[in-house]
Structure 1
Amino acid sequence: MARQLTRTDHMIRQFDTVLRTLMPGGAQATRPSPSTLVTDDVMSEQERQHSAGLMRVNHTEEVCVQALYQGQSLTAGYTEGHEQLNTAVNEELDHLAWCKARLHELDSHTSRLDPLFYVTSFGVGAIAGRLGNSVSLGFVNAAEERVGKRLEDHMTRLPMADRRSRAVVEKIIEEEAHHAHNALEAGGKRFSLPARLGIRAVDALVSRVAYRL
């Protein structure tokens, strides 16, 4: 029989996730990147820089989602609903690693403000967790849906020649939709329109900053 995880075990797992999210080379994908079998067409320097900016935004958003999950698990406890999202956490780490690898291929860097974004998102997640399971999981649903919509927008903005980035983004869109759905299935409350507009506004601000920095 498998040993039941203690509070200490969960805290160690959280700390490990923090390190893998923020430390250089910390996030290691457990699955091959969707871009593995894809070859780029020729891109201009302007197209390369634009792709790098968009992929930097995507990487930062994955940092924020990781922090959100971690903050919630700290204050909401280890409910059955949150345990159902463990697969999502692992897939988000893959997304993080894929985006970072693509940035390296584009000769660019992750956002210099990622630690600040992480701390802020962790705090938001911790507050959401204190408000109860339905609100906590509802926030996951709203955040994941917003990430999905932003990625769909990026698919229209990425250069057609950047086939490797497009392959990564396309796969992440698919999995973010599952994460959003699973959060509701696990007991999440669907947020009101004003709350979703607020999340959209914050997402837009983070995207503008991460694109440049």
Structure 2
Amino acid sequence: MLDRLITELDRALRTLAAPARTGRPLPGGDLPEAELDETQRSHVGALMRINHVGEICAQALYQGQALTCREPTVRDALRRAAVEETEHLSWTASRMSELGSRPSLLNPLWYGGALMMGVAAGLVGDKWNLGFLAETEKQVEAHLQGHLDRLPPADQKSWRILEQMRQDEREHAHTAERLGAAQLPAPVRLAMRAASRVMTGVAYYV
């Protein structure tokens, strides 16, 4: 039990403080930098900060869900999804750096809140755990589409990153559904959207 606690603490510290690793090349990494004015660079940097926060939250959610889920197949699916989310964390951090932006100052708070949500989702049972995963990924996919629509047309580097992330999130949702995800009640889905709006609104600036 102590070994597992140390492992999970190490995972949290690496998510918050260490550079994330990626096994796939950075999408759009071979493209030239677009000519963006300061307002556009600031705007895209803020969008990338929001998505970086989303990936911080994803790591915490998956960690909490994996801690409390019962089925090994579900736990394995969560771990596999977390690996891809780590790549997303690396990509968004890299793009923020290129744009002269910075991570959210509230990342430890976002991480802690998401971890508690993940633990709670796992405790209510695996089909609901998977349902929470599927709904989260569907909402993230829609959120990413909104960001794609808000990017300056010239910024193909950011577009490639967000588009690949969107495709990955869709596949995560499909995987959860194939494993038997239950559809969450409408009030829960609405509460998740409301929480997401608060997070994205704050993370754009802080």
TM-score range normalised by the length of the shorter chain: over 0.9
Q: Which runs of 4+ in 1 moved over 4 A?
A: 7-13
Match of 1:156 in 2: 149
For residues 184 and 140 of structure 2, what CA distance do their matches in structure 1 show? 15
| Residue number among 151, 156, 161 corresponding to 1:168 in the alignment | 161
Task: Give the Cα–Cα distance (whole angstroms) in 2 for the partners of residues 200 and 28 of structure 1.
Answer: 29
Aligned to 1:4: none
Tell me whether 186-195 or 152-161 shows the greater mean CA deviation: 186-195
Contact 1:82/1:137 (8 A) holds in 2? no
Decide which of 175, 194, 199 is 1:206's aligned counterpart: 199
Shift of residue 86, structure 1, vs aligned partner: 2.4
> Residue 61 of structure 2 aligns to which amino acid in structure 1?
L
RMSD value, Cα: 1.6
Q: Show the counterpart of 1:3.
A: none
Q: Is the 8 A contact 1:85 1:182 kept in 2?
A: no
Task: Choose which of 179, 191, 195 in structure 1 pairs with 2:184.
Answer: 191
Contact 1:38 1:167 in 2 (8 A): no
Q: Secondary structure at the match of 1:178?
A: helix
CA distance, structure 2, for counterparts of residue 165 and residue 96 of structure 1: 14
- Kept in 1, the 8 Å contact 2:140–2:169? The answer is yes
Counterpart AA for 2:55:
E
2:14 maps to which of 13, 20, 23: 20
Q: Which residue of 1 is the match for residue 119 of structure 2?
A: 126
Percent of aligned positions that are identical: 38
Deviation at 1:10, TM superposition (A): 5.3
Asked if 1:90 corresponds to 2:83, the answer is yes
Structure 2 residue 152 is matched with structure 1 residue 140: no
How far did 1:38 drift?
1.7
Evaluate the alpha carbon distance shift between residue 23 and residue 78 of structure 1 in structure 2; reply closer, same or farther with a 3 A threshold: farther
TM-score, with length taken from structure 2 = 0.94
State the 1:24 CA deviation.
4.0
Q: Distance in 2 between matches of 1:95 and 1:112?
A: 19
Tell me, in whole angstroms, the C-alpha distance in 1 between the residues paired with 2:100 and 2:115. 29
The range that moved more, 93-102 or 72-81, is 72-81
- Equivalence for 1:39: 32
Which deviates the most, 8-17 or 172-181? 8-17
Q: Equivalents in 2 of 1:9, 1:90: separation in Å?
A: 21
TM-score by length of 1: 0.91
Distance change in 2, residues 1:15/1:35 (3 Å):
farther
Paired amino acid for 2:117: V
